[in-house]
Amino acid sequence: MTARMIMKLQVTAARLATPDVLHVELVHPLRPELPEWTAGAHVDLRLPDGRVRQYSLCGDPDDRAKYEIAIKREDDGRGGSRWAHEHLKEGVTAHVSSPRNNLPLSETATRYVLVAGGIGITPFVSMARTLAKQNKNFTLHYCARSADNAPLLRELREICGDQLKCWFSREGARFNPQTIGAYQDGTHVYVCGPERLLEAVQASLSDWPEDHVHGEVFQLTLDENFKAEPFEATIASTGERLLVPADRSLLEVLRSSGFVMPSSCELGICGSCECGYRDGIVIHRDKVLSVSKRQDRLMPCVSRARVAVTLDL
């Protein structure tokens, strides 16, 4: 993983898409084109105190002039969205990374099923645009409390037509993952939203090939019962051994031993700090790696090991 470029972008529009979602447009003050991106990508927004938050790009990947993001205000969150709602106004400069895509569209799928919960809709706006332009077979299931609480709904209705299925709980409509149906060759499913939605879809599709069900979590449920234990990390290239105490992350220990490790969310959801390992029993606590990737990759910001692990560093 390499560190990403941070750009100073200018906010050219900031308006409420719903009572608690701010839709922001960003341009480069000097360059007519921003770094290119593909549907499903996100950018990091750097806060003044150095913290970083990830937001999916929800504009048109073919429009290189601007980035669009939508930020849900979480008053009981960690403060990033509150800061964004209070400070991202027209004319303000925002520090934004170049895009990265943890949720790319399959190029070989013949049918796409997209399932969004609330603000988890954001990566699917660009996906729906791309799929519609390519005349692909897709369905977008959008779960929200009501139309008034469903950001970007107007755009999605224009993009998707009758390929958009809305599930508004206040109208008594609830999405049932079994709606997706049995596995058919060529079908890929993408889920984005709260962890419980991802888990419900994954449970319903447990007999599908693992690489046909893709997910991104927007809200984390922390495992309060997890008890961290100390372990030893060996650096494969040098044989150096590092003790990771119970109260520190592997990422922190690597950094304090001189390793330059990129990171962003430090919650196991963005994929920035991904690192290879060779042996050891890893306790994976991230929400971004697939089961097959977990065989030799880990996220040192949250994941740990039982007793010992050898890192590909």
Interface residues with ligand FES (CB under 6 A) are 263-266, 268-273, 286, 288, 299, 301
Is 55 within 8 Å of 125 (Cβ atoms)?
no
| DSSP H or E run through 231 | strand 231-235
At closest approach, how far in Å is the CB of 273 from ligand FES? 3
Cβ proximity to ligand FES: between 140 and 299 the closer is: 299
Q: Which two tokens stand for residue 292?
A: 């097959």
Task: List, edge to edge, every strand of the sheet that includes 42-46.
Answer: 52-56, 42-46, 93-97, 6-18, 21-27, 67-72
Q: What is the residue-wise DSSP string for 43-66?
A: EEEE-TTS-EEEEE--S-TT-TT-
Cβ proximity to ligand FES: between 25 and 286 the closer is: 286
Cβ proximity to ligand FES: between 234 and 272 the closer is: 272
Q: In degrees to the nearest 10, what's the CA dihedral of 89, 92, 98, 103?
A: -10
Cβ proximity to ligand FES: between 165 and 294 the closer is: 294
How far apart, in whole angstroms, are the C-alpha atoms of residue 140 and residue 150?
A: 13
At closest approach, how far in Å is the CB of 167 from ligand FES? 30
At closest approach, how far in Å is the CB of 186 from ligand FES? 30
At closest approach, how far in Å is the CB of 277 from ligand FES? 14
At closest approach, how far in Å is the CB of 54 from ligand FES? 8
Q: How many residues does the chain have?
A: 313
Cβ proximity to ligand FES: between 130 and 272 the closer is: 272
